[in-house]
Structure 1
Amino acid sequence: MVENQQIHISIPKKALDKLSLNYGDELLAQIDRDRIIIQPKPEKANSQTQSLRWFMLPALLAGVVALINFFIQKTRYVKLSGGNSISQITIYLAVVFGFVVFLAALLLLGGKQLVMASLWSKIRSVLTLSIAFTILNFSITSFCFYFIDLAFHGVMLDRYTSSALIAGFVGISCYLMMNAALSINFSTITTTLILTLVGGIFLSMITNKQQNWWQINFSYLGSNLSNNWWQFNFTLIFSASIMLTLIDYIFSLLSLIPKFITIQTRILRILLTGSSIAFGLVGVFQNNRAIDWLHQLHWWTSNLLVVFILLIIIGIRWLLPGITKEFLLTAYGFAGLLALSEILFQWVHYLSLTAFEIISFGLAFGWLILLMQNLNNLYLENAEIFTIEIK
């Protein structure tokens, strides 16, 4: 082959149409080990303008709001932490502007990433993801200022410098939120779900005033006896909302592939949706023994969640066509471990109630994540596959 000789490839027209490409447009080809990655050539000027717009505008507005606040409060020198401080105002403005930027970016720039079957599903998913990432933004910003305060404790700056710093921090926060909105996929939604659930539960454990809560049961964190029961229950409710978003996202993708439009797939989606709703209802109905009907509803929804998960595991062989033998064995392994934990708790009395609840919850949640990961892999293996001919 002659050096620098041009080789042509043939790409199906439907692939070009989906990417809004025309004949003569340039594509970028990158060699990555033993594969070639072909992607549209980004417009550098538009990309830079877009980044500056989403970074500069919120930063400028945040700086102006902060400066006006300092003039109204007649604050000449601003503390790093405490009331009306750099950290407090930055956190508040980062939350507000971050939410608006994420919501706008997801609707205006990342709309194609949320291929939802219905308008209601898309609206619910966009709002859920916006709130979830805003909570993460709040947590990360708070932690950052906690460490900054440790390093520069007692620092006071004039109001102009403080406003500039606040503008910079808010601008960075909004830029990260914009990129997060444009990076929405299965992995980011799953990561958000895990961080929200695990983070919320651990925070409930840490902030609970009853140090020996674990000697009672895991559900104690959401009962009326706990001082911060609302935090634990809100974590369950909001995590269930993110799980519903994940289910809508996966099955909307699968609906694009004809062989997955089956009655079995619909039943699987109904069972997964039911398990998510039951999971959320566990948080809605507080475990309050003083109010018997509320306690009974909590107990019944907890059992309903177990029933849904067992139905999915038992029926997975028929509900998911083309399931691998390895995944089927994994499903039965999870079912066996759930049964073993039940035996060790109910009959052998080896596990305490707290240990039983944590193990059962961990196994059930882990199984659901693995199942949805498998569904996502099925989509990736069957979608957008076509042959490219070298000429």
Structure 2
Amino acid sequence: MVENKQIHLSFPKKALNKISLKDGDQIVARIENDKIILQPQPSKDSQNQSLRWYLLPAILAGVISLINFHLQRVKSVSLSGADSIAQLAIYLSTAFGFITFLAALIFLSSDQFPINNRWAKFRSVVTLSIAFTVLDFAFMSLLFYCIDLAFHGVILDRYTSSAIIAGFVGVSSYLMINAAQSITFSAMSTVLIFTLIGGIFLSMIMNNHANWWQINFSYLGSNLSNNWWQFNFTLIFSSLIMLTLIDYIFSLIFKIDTFKTVRMQTLRWLLVGTSISFGLVGVFQNNRSIEWLHQLHWWTSNLLVIFILIIIFGIKWLLPTATKEFLFTAAVFAGLLVLSEILFQWVHYLSLTAFEIISFGLSFAWLIILMQNLNNLYIEKSETFIIEIK
């Protein structure tokens, strides 16, 4: 190919329609890691509007901080402690982060956030906003913990402190808006994993019984544990994120006519049933002193297992387009679940805690892999295009 010679790319019309491009619009192309990345050129108006969204929370946070210091008659502000830079920055970043993420997610187009059902969209928007806000709070807390270690004992005047707080809130809002605007299946599944695993580990660490693991895994959510609400809330909130993932991926899949089948609808409702059962395990506390509550916990736990087993053993019928590799993966997971049951019930090699953790880990991993496969299925059928070079 002659150097500097112009070439032309031929795009399918439906590909341009997906990103709302028309004749005469310009596309920005850049080379990154031996790949050519094409994207619409952002308009100046959209850039200015985004800048205002980032600056507004920062300015408001700075003003609120300054007013607070004046009302508290604080002239010198410490880095950590009560009425400190860290405290106000974390609280204001969390508050403005939730507001900006919620607003950005609401105004996304149906192509970016394809859930159309009003109730499902409301639930999904609120759930994701809370989930990302919790991550924002955790990140800011960890950040200021590290800053305090590096600059312990620093004291600044209230004007400088307000400016620093404004800067942190601005950066936090920037990250939250970008997270909302680039919401994807991968981002939501990552949040689900962090929420579930993080919540469970915190429950383990903060539990008042050092040898809880000698009883069973369910002990963390029972009335015998001092922070049972944290474990159960983790299960409930994780189930809501899982429901959002299910709504998101099937809203995309059902855009393709060949996937609007009874089998795919059945798979969706089985996944919804799995998610609801998972949440109900947290709703109904494992409290043996209240028999009906313990029984409901036991039944919902078994219902969760039944849903997962139906999906695993019925995946060949439910998802006839599944590859041999994916079906083999399903068989491996089924075999491991059966093996863990044998090692616990008959061989007595596994303890109850080990059996519950292994079964839970395998089931959760299987559900993530299944939904990832569904997402890849949509991408292969709808998001992949052949571009001809002329």
TM-score, normalisation: structure 1: 0.95
Question: 1:181 and 2:180 equivalent?
Answer: yes
Q: What secondary structure, in the 3-state scheme, does the structure 2 residue paired with 1:309 have?
A: helix
- CA deviations 1:90-149 (Å, max 9, x no partner) are 111111100000011112246531101412111111111000000000111111111112
Where does 1:201-212 land on structure 2 (aligned, <5 Å)?
201-212=200-211
Give the Cα separation in 2 of the matches to 1:182 and 1:247: 19
The number of aligned residues is 390
Residue 24 of structure 1 corresponds to 24
Residue 94 of structure 1 corresponds to 93
**AA in 2 matched with 1:307:** I
Residue 326 of structure 1 corresponds to 325
Identity value in percent = 70
Question: 1:10 and 2:10 equivalent?
Answer: yes
**AA in 1 matched with 2:200:** I
In structure 2, the gaps of 5 or more residues are: none
Give the Cα separation in 2 of the matches to 1:284 and 1:155: 45
Residue 122 of structure 1 corresponds to 121
Question: 1:368 and 2:367 equivalent?
Answer: yes
Q: Which stretch shows the higher mean deviation, 292-301 or 148-157?
A: 148-157
What is the CA-CA distance between 1:3 and the residue it aligns to? 4.5
Residue 304 of structure 1 corresponds to 303
- CA deviations 1:198-222 (Å, max 9, x no partner) are 0111111111121111111111111
Residue 218 of structure 2 corresponds to 219
What is the CA-CA distance between 1:243 and the residue it aligns to? 0.4
Residue 269 of structure 1 corresponds to 268
**AA in 1 matched with 2:139:** I
Where does 1:288-299 land on structure 2 (aligned, <5 Å)?
288-299=287-298
Q: What secondary structure, in the 3-state scheme, does the structure 1 residue paired with 2:278 have?
A: helix
**AA in 1 matched with 2:216:** N
Residue 282 of structure 1 corresponds to 281
Determine if contact 2:340/2:358 at 8 Å carries over to the other structure: yes
TM-score, normalisation: structure 2: 0.96
Determine if contact 1:236/1:279 at 8 Å carries over to the other structure: yes
Question: 1:63 and 2:97 equivalent?
Answer: no
Give the Cα separation in 1 of the matches to 2:389 and 2:77: 65
What is the CA-CA distance between 1:22 and the residue it aligns to? 2.1
Determine if contact 1:128/1:242 at 8 Å carries over to the other structure: yes
What is the CA-CA distance between 1:50 and the residue it aligns to? 3.3
CA separation of 1:131/1:101 partners in 2, compared to 1, >3 Å: closer, same or farther?
same
What is the CA-CA distance between 1:42 and the residue it aligns to? 2.5
Q: What secondary structure, in the 3-state scheme, does the structure 2 residue paired with 1:112 have?
A: coil
Q: Which stretch shows the higher mean deviation, 360-369 or 67-76?
A: 67-76
Residue 249 of structure 2 corresponds to 250
Q: Which stretch shows the higher mean deviation, 3-12 or 257-266?
A: 3-12
CA separation of 1:48/1:219 partners in 2, compared to 1, >3 Å: closer, same or farther?
same
Give the Cα separation in 1 of the matches to 2:272 and 2:326: 21
Determine if contact 1:208/1:221 at 8 Å carries over to the other structure: yes
In structure 1, the gaps of 5 or more residues are: none
- CA deviations 1:352-385 (Å, max 9, x no partner) are 1111110000000000001011111101110044
Residue 82 of structure 1 corresponds to 81
Determine if contact 2:18/2:111 at 8 Å carries over to the other structure: no
Structure 1 residue runs of 4+, over 6 Å off?
Answer: none
Give the Cα separation in 2 of the matches to 1:166 and 1:300: 49
Q: Which stretch shows the higher mean deviation, 71-80 or 229-238?
A: 71-80
Determine if contact 1:110/1:182 at 8 Å carries over to the other structure: no
Residue 197 of structure 1 corresponds to 196
What is the CA-CA distance between 1:64 and the residue it aligns to? 0.5
CA separation of 1:146/1:386 partners in 2, compared to 1, >3 Å: closer, same or farther?
closer
**AA in 2 matched with 1:167:** A
Residue 153 of structure 1 corresponds to 152
Give the Cα separation in 1 of the matches to 2:35 and 2:59: 44
What is the CA-CA distance between 1:38 and the residue it aligns to? 3.1
**AA in 2 matched with 1:366:** A
Determine if contact 1:110/1:181 at 8 Å carries over to the other structure: no
Residue 142 of structure 2 corresponds to 143
What is the CA-CA distance between 1:386 and the residue it aligns to? 4.0
